[in-house]
Amino acid sequence: MVSVHTSPLAQPGTGDAGGMNVYVLNTARELARSGVEVEIFTRATSSEEPPTAEAAPGVLVHHLPAGPFEGLSKNDLPTQLCAFTGGLLRAEAHNRPGHYDLIHAHYWLSGQAAWVASERWGVPLVQTFHTLAKVKNARLADGDSPEPIGRVVGEEQITTEADLLIANTAAEADELREFYNADTRRVEVIHPGVDLGVFRPGDRRTARESLGLPADALIVAFVGRIQPAKAPDVLLRGLARLRVQHPALAERIVPVFVGGPSNTDLYWLPRLAADLGLGDRVQWRTPRSGEALAQVYRAADAVAVPSYNESFGLVALEAQATGTPVIAAKVGGLPTAVADGRSGLLVDSHSADDWATALGRLMGEPDLRERLAAGARTHAALFSWQATAEGLGNAYRRALLMRSQAITLKR
Do the annotations mark residue 265 as ligand-binding? Answer: no
Q: Is 396 annotated as a binding residue?
A: no
User: Is residue 225 part of an annotated ligand binding site?
Assistant: yes
Residues 6+ apart with CB under 8 A from 62: 39, 40, 41, 42, 51, 52, 91
Residue pair 316/338 in contact (Cβ under 8 Å)? The answer is: yes
Residue 227 and residue 263 in contact, taking contact as beta carbons nearer than 8 Å: yes
Kindly list the strands in the beta sheet with 38-43, ordered across the sheet, starting from the edge strand earlier in the chain: 38-43, 59-64, 52-56
Q: Confirm whether residue 298 is marked as ligand binding.
A: yes
Please name which of 154, 138, 128, 135 lies closest in space to residue 74, comparing C-alpha atoms.
154
Q: Is 37 annotated as a binding residue?
A: no
CB 219 within 8 A of CB 304: no
Q: Is 312 helix (H, G, I), strand (E, B) or coil?
A: coil
Tell whether 105 is in a known binding site: no
Q: For residue 300, say whether it is annotated as part of any ligand binding site.
A: yes
The answer to whether 310 is a known ligand-binding residue is yes
Consult the annotation and say whether 324 binds a ligand.
yes
- Residue 192 among known ligand-binding residues: no
Is residue 410 part of an annotated ligand binding site? no
318 is in an annotated binding site: yes
Q: Tell me: is residue 288 an annotated ligand-binding position.
A: yes
Distance in angstroms (rounded) separating the CA atoms of residues 235 and 304: 7
Tell me: is residue 16 an annotated ligand-binding position: yes
Instruction: Check whether 45 is labelled as a binding-site residue.
Output: no
Q: How far is CA 118 from the centre of its chain?
A: 25
Q: Does 5 appear as a known binding residue?
A: yes
407 closest CA partner among 165, 101, 122, 162: 122
Distance separating alpha carbons of residues 223 and 232, to the nearest angstrom: 9
Q: What one-letter code names the amino acid at 296?
A: V
- Return binding residues for Mg(2+): 297-298, 300, 324
Binding residues: 5, 11-12, 16-21, 74, 107, 131, 151, 225, 230, 288, 297-298, 300, 310, 318, 324
Binding-site residues for 1D-myo-inositol 3-phosphate, please?
Answer: 5, 16-21, 74, 107, 131, 151
What residues are designated binding site for UDP-N-acetyl-alpha-D-glucosamine? 11-12, 19, 225, 230, 288, 310, 318
